[in-house]
């Protein structure tokens, strides 16, 4: 299939496909007239990339999954390098969740402080009394 058909089937743009090609994630074969040619395995690679990006992986983090598929594995996460990326991403997400919990606790504490101060009556200097 040509680049336009692949882009349509993958739900992306030809520009994105060219970018992936420039990054080495997608390899086009050239027909006799110079057109890029792709097959179903290329569509599968794109679907893997898009699935990972949809859940927060950056483009470079998808590389081990693409390489795993290219090596002939039935799934992009069947290789040790892909599993390592999953582990790193989970650690990153856990750190973000911890950070958000900390921020939430601080905001909650500030709210309680503010509510306890306003319970004694509105601040005369507050122009937006409620």
Domain map (residue ranges) of the chain: 3-117
Beta partners for residue 29, in sequence order: 37
Q: Please give the mean pLDDT across all residues of the chain.
A: 91
pLDDT surpasses 60 at 37 = yes
Give the model's pLDDT for residue 34. Answer: 87
Contacts of 2 (CB under 8 A, 6+ apart): 35, 36, 37, 38
User: Using one digit for the tens of pLDDT, what is the confidence trace for 60-112?
Assistant: 999 999 999 999 999 999 999 999 999 999 999 999 999 999 999 999 999 99
Give the model's pLDDT for residue 128. Answer: 59
CA angle 125–128–123, rounded 5-degree value = 35
| Domain 3-117 coded CATH 1.10.1660.10 | yes
CA angle 3–29–34, rounded 5-degree value = 75
Give the model's pLDDT for residue 121. Answer: 65
């Amino acid at each position: 299939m040509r680049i336009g058909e692949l882009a349509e089937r993958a739900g992306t743009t030809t520009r994105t496909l060219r970018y992936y090609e420039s990054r080495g994630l997608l390899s086009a074969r050239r027909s006799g007239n110079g057109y890029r040619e792709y097959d179903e395995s290329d569509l599968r690679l794109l679907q893997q990339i898009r699935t990972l990006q949809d859940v927060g992986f950056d483009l470079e983090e998808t590389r081990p999954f693409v390489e795993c598929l290219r090596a002939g594995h039935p799934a992009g996460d069947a290789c040790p390098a892909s599993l390592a990326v999953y582990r790193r991403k989970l650690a990153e997400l856990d750190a973000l969740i911890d950070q958000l919990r900390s921020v939430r606790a601080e905001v909650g504490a500030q709210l309680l402080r503010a509510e306890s101060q306003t319970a004694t009556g509105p601040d005369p200097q507050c122009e937006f009394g409620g």
